[in-house]
Amino acid sequence: MRLKNKLRQYFTPVIITAVLAIILSGTANLSALTGECNSFFDCFDKGYRVAAQEEKLVYFTKALKLWAPSDGASNKAVVYNNRGIAYHALRKFDKAIAEYGKAIVVDPKDIDGYYNRGISYSSLKQYDKALADYDKAIEIKPSGEYGPGQKGAAYSNRGVIYNHLKKYDKAIADFDSALSLAPKFAVAYVNRANSYCYKKEYGKAIADYDRAIALDPTGDCGTGKKGEAYAERGGVYLWLNKCDQAKSDFEKAIALNDKTPSPHSNLGVYWWACRKNKETALKWFEKSFQRGFDQWEELYQETDAGHFLKGLNDAPEFKALVKKYKKTGE
């Protein structure tokens, strides 16, 4: 029986979010979890079904202990991959990389280990290693297909790596490849729009955001956050000095997902850059900071929000807000 990798999914390296439901403590809890798990396949299935990442690790680890050659080498690789995904979700990237390496040893022709390891390398900003893994994934499967039948995914992720390396033309070529294989691959449009933004080709960026949103009106578009594509398109409208369109997009993003920090801070940028309304701008920045904002450097970078916040980001009131919400060490 070929075990389906039920937890496989494509990611872009910048959007993985760790969600931890509970913390387990003590061996008694671990024993209770696995008391009715008595076979390789059963343990994997139970690991897939639980929500908390630590619980997944318990089940997957027991599955590996129960594995026998008759269960199939490729199935063993699947479990290593899923254990790596759990470690990644817990932001234990080195451990995730080790698990993906084990999967590759067991099944070197399976794209999953290379694809997943590339994501973890990217999270550690080890972009050259991530690039090598995506190169290998594409060599094994030129369609770039990964996870639930998503063609072009490896090209899209490699393009994100090229963006990090500031090789924007190579990034665009990879997103072009992804979209030629999967014309309805919304996240590839979002990623290509980012490349065009880096090149200051804002009209092309807007066109790609339009295509992504047409495919997914929720604005998720594969980013994992509803409204994200609207928030990003609104940011491009600011660079084009189209304030009304920017405000409309930020408000749509918030209506779709009030919990995400970025559209709230974007509205703060709008109220300062377009209206010079300090009081309202500060109100929106505080809403963003309360929701877990963590892109502090961007508030001062000329290539990002800092370009629009001159005269505000050095104001005492703004500095006080940053000091209140920014965690030590960030």
pLDDT at position 145 is: 83
Same domain, 128 and 21: yes
CA dihedral 120, 11, 250, 173 (to 10 degrees): 100
Range of the domain at 219: 142-224
Same domain, 204 and 89: no
Query: Does residue 266 sit within a domain?
Result: yes
Query: Does residue 231 sit within a domain?
Result: no
**What is the C-alpha separation between 267 and 248, in angstroms, rounded?**
10
pLDDT at position 16 is: 25
Query: Does residue 262 sit within a domain?
Result: yes
Q: 148 falls in which pLDDT band (50, 70, 90)?
A: low
Same domain, 115 and 8: yes
Same domain, 11 and 135: yes
Boundary of a domain, candidates 140, 167, 186: 140
| 165: Cα within 13 Å, side-chain hemisphere | 18
Name which of 24-33, 180-189, 238-247, 268-277 the model is least confident about. 24-33
146, β-bridge pairs: 150
The CA distances from residue 9 to 20, 89, 146, 234, 278, in Å, are 18, 13, 7, 28, 43
Boundary of a domain, candidates 103, 123, 140: 140
Quick check: 160 and 171 in contact, CB under 8 A?
yes
**What is the C-alpha separation between 81 and 308, in angstroms, rounded?**
43
Same domain, 10 and 135: yes
Query: Does residue 82 sit within a domain?
Result: yes
Same domain, 19 and 89: yes
CATH number, domain at 56?
1.25.40.10
Query: Does residue 124 sit within a domain?
Result: yes
Same domain, 267 and 193: no
Same domain, 124 and 154: no
| 252-300 residue pLDDT tens | 999 999 999 999 999 999 999 999 999 999 999 999 999 999 999 999 9
Q: Tell me how many domains the chain contains.
A: 3
| 288-312 residue pLDDT tens | 999 999 999 999 999 889 999 999 9
Same domain, 281 and 246: yes
pTM, rounded to two decimals: 0.84
Quick check: 7 and 85 in contact, CB under 8 A?
yes
Same domain, 80 and 91: yes
Same domain, 80 and 17: yes
| 104-113 residue pLDDT tens | 999 998 888 9
Single out the residue of 283, 281, 286, 290 nearest to residue 311, CA to CA: 281
Boundary of a domain, candidates 179, 197, 224: 224
Query: Does residue 298 sit within a domain?
Result: yes
Quick check: 189 and 196 in contact, CB under 8 A?
no
Query: Does residue 248 sit within a domain?
Result: yes
Q: 30 falls in which pLDDT band (50, 70, 90)?
A: very low
Same domain, 248 and 205: no
Query: Does residue 229 sit within a domain?
Result: no
Name which of 8-22, 136-150, 238-252 the model is least confident about. 8-22
